[in-house]
Amino acid sequence: MISLLIAIPLLLAFISIIWRSLSKPLFFLASFTNIVILITSWFPNGVEIHAMGNWKPPFGINLVFDNASFYAALVVNAFFLLTSLLPGLVGNYGIPLMLLMAAANGFVLTGDLFNSFVFMEIITITAVTIASKKENFYNAFKYLILGGIAGSIYLLATIFAYASTGSLNMAHVSMAGISSSSLVAITTLYAIGLGVEAKLFPLNGWVSGVYGGNDLAPVILGTSVSFAALYMVGRLFGTVFHGNGAEVLYTLALITIVIGEVAALRQRNLLKTFAYSSVAQAGVVVAMLSKGTGTAMGLAYFHLTNDAVAKFVIFLVAGFLVYNYKNLNGVFKKHKVLGASFSIASFSLVGFPLFAGFQSKLRIIMEAFSMKDYLFPSVMLLATLIEVGYVVRWNVKLWFEEETQEKAETPVIASTLALILALVLITVFIKPDIFLGGAMKMGNALADTKDYIQGVLSVVKGGM
């Protein structure tokens, strides 16, 4: 059943190559079906395996469906569904989007290191295609190069892992354990390889160009693909390597937070500002993931979910504004609904109370404190301070400056969608369990190595 998550978008993508005009409805169909499939198998609460070609693990490629991959797949597909509701945004990019969806699902579900590399490569290539929308070729090219480097490093890491354990199956690698000397190399290389998609410093040079270059890329790359990539960070470093190499991630993440916020502060381009902001948020999430405990990882994904929802709204609105107005001063006076959604989302990003971001940020700080980590909260609060600066600046500029231009037509679906998501953010503040429950399950599933190995390999003895 779960292999359908990959198969359906892939199939529909090939179909729409033949009937091009159908790509948009087919994209919607694919994402809708995926969501339906996911809903029917709501939180497996165990580990289900789909072994390809009936090769039992650790042999052959297998898909793993547990709470973690379920939640990740749910979030990933949900954003594809939301995107597919916006035909204007999708444009001619239905096919790459479907391919991206297939790859992202595969990336999330796979239980095989090499397979995950394959999916990552597909993600990179389709993402580059999407990034080149609006003739944003140079930035897409940068992304391609970095993605290529990342891919090869990821592959290298996989080869090392195979060399030292003789297996490519994640559960098996985890169970077999890696000798400490090669562990350093493998974890470092994985950290770097994933760092590109996870937007870690200094591998995030592509972000501003790609996110800032068109309206589609940030909406999908900043939400779904980020989530998938950060899921893999959790899976590899939480489940497979048992927290080895976390200090690399932690250090890089802290630097990423500061650098991202500082770069966002000086930005004068709306899309790029929030591109950098998403860099910083990824830093927060990675720092939290590097803690390795179930609660910490759960909170990280809770935060990531909130961030993704907020970012979806922000990039949606920002993309609309940037490509319809030359001068953004006071545009929200003409688009009150878009403006309200944008403000709510951006305030949620900062973590003001009444919005979802508050719940996740405070919990993260509290969790960090309970782990006696005093550095991360202070870095995070400093980052939030800078964030307040540019978020308020943009809100004030977009709402209150004197407006000059003719009004562009309000996109009805987009505003409705943005408003609904903004209301979701408020609802999450009141009832955090909407996201928190799933995220905590995901975190616990990622942290629970024993269950994973047991579930995948179906052996009782051994384990760590």
Partner 1 sequence: MAMSTLLVSLVATSVVMYFISKASWKIGAILNFLIGIFLISYVFALSTGTTSELGTLFGQKLQLIWTNASYYFSLVSLLVIVSVMLFAIKWLDSQKYPAAFNMFLLMMTAGSLGVFMAADLITLYIFWEIAVLSSMLIVPMGKKESRKAAVVYAVMSASGTYMYLYGAFLAFQRYGTLNISEIAKHMVSDPSTGIKATIFLLLASAGIAKSGIFPLHTWLRIAHGNAPDAFSAVLSGQLVKLGSYVLMVSVAALPSLKIFSNIPFYSGIPATNYFLIALGATSIIIGTLMAIKQDDMKMLIAFSSVANGGYILIGIGTMDPIGFEGGVLHVFNHALAAAVIFMAFASVVYRTHTKKISELGGLIHKMPITFLAYLFAIISLAGIPPMSGFISKWMIYQALVRKGMFITAFIAFFGSIGSFLYVFRPLAGVFLGQLPKKYKDVKEVSPIMWLPMVILVTISLIIGIWPFPILKPIEGMRMDFGIAPTMKIADSSHWLIKGFAGNWNPVLVFNLFLIGFVIAYILYTLFPRPKKVDLLAPHKKEGAPINIYTGGEFIYNPDLYQYNTKFYAGFERMYEKHPSWEKLLEMLAKFFYDLGEWVHGWFFRPSPSAYTFWVTLTILIVFWVRW
CA-nearest of 161, 297, 186, 191 to 251 is: 191
Instruction: Find the binder of partner 1 among 202, 327, 375, 420 (CB under 8 A).
Output: 202
Report the distance separating Cα 195 and Cα 198, nearest Å: 5
Indicate which single residue of 347, 376, 435, 452 sits in contact with partner 1 (rule: CB under 8 A). 347
Chosen residue from 11, 22, 184, 419 binding partner 1 by CB under 8 A: 184
Residue among 75, 240, 317, 365 that touches partner 1 (CB under 8 A): 365
| Contacts to partner 1 from residues 82-141, by CB under 8 A | 141
Is the Cβ of residue 64 or residue 146 nearer to partner 1 in the bound state? 146
Question: Judged by CB under 8 A, which stretch of 30-38, 60-68, 116-124, 204-212 contacts partner 1?
Answer: 204-212
CA 355, CA 348: separation in Å to the nearest integer?
5
Residue 56 near partner 1 by CB under 8 A: no
- Work out whether 159 is an interface residue with partner 1 (CB under 8 A): no
Q: Which is nearer to partner 1, 209 or 455 (CB)?
A: 209
Please tell me the distance from the alpha carbon of residue 414 to that of residue 215, in angstroms, as a whole number.
12
Interface with partner 1: number of residues (CB under 8 A) = 62
Q: Would you say 6 and 99 are in contact if contact means Cβ atoms under 8 Å apart?
A: no
Q: Is the dihedral of CA 158, 159, 161, 167 positive or negative?
A: positive
- The tokens describing 262, both together, are 């500082």
Residues 254-283 that bind partner 1 (CB under 8 A): 259, 262-267
Q: Nearest Cα to 432, choosing from 362, 347, 340?
A: 362
Sign of CA dihedral 188, 189, 190, 194: positive
Query: What angle (nearest 5°) sits at the alpha carbon of residue 259, between those of residues 258 and 265?
Result: 90
Contact between 388 and partner 1 by CB under 8 A: the answer reads: yes
Contact at 8 Å (CB) between 258 and 383? yes
Site for partner 1 in 435-464 (CB under 8 A): none
Which CB atom, from 175 or from 249, has the smaller least distance to partner 1?
A: 249
Q: Is residue 397 within 8 Å of residue 342, measured between CB atoms?
A: no
Q: Which residues bind partner 1 (CB under 8 A)?
A: 141-142, 145-146, 149-150, 153, 184-185, 188-189, 191-192, 201-209, 248, 252, 259, 262-267, 347, 352-354, 358-359, 362-363, 365-366, 369-370, 372, 374, 377-378, 381-382, 384-386, 388-389, 392-393, 395-397, 399-401
